[in-house]
Amino acid sequence: MGTEPGLVWRALSVAGLLCLVGAYLANQRGRCAATSLRYLLANAAGAGVLAAYSAVIGEWVFVALEGFWCVASLWALRGARPPR
């Protein structure tokens, strides 16, 4: 098990979680497409922060999971279109 994170890391992890969940809920409610710039940026940012947080606390499985999710979102950004 990893170390106890500080308050800043805890706040960042909550922000990352809110980015991921917010993007998911917006997509499910039809407010943004899964291929939209907003959705992909929220996923990349949220997953990136959670990957870093997972590294801080030593949860390497989640570093891999969130790191993959971040890279997949960044890869998908290549074809994303800005909102009109």
pLDDT per residue as tens digits for the range 17-64:
999 999 999 999 999 999 999 999 999 999 999 999 999 999 999 999
What's the pTM?
Answer: 0.86
Token pair belonging to 76: 């998908």
21 vs 83, higher pLDDT: 21
Residues near 59 by Cβ (< 8 Å), separated by ≥ 6?
Answer: 2
84 vs 22, higher pLDDT: 22
| Cα–Cα dist 13/30, whole Å | 26
Q: For residue 23, what are the CA distances in angstroms to 52, 58, 61? A: 19, 26, 23
The neighbouring-strand residues paired with 81 are: 36
What integer pLDDT is reported at residue 79 of this predicted model?
A: 78
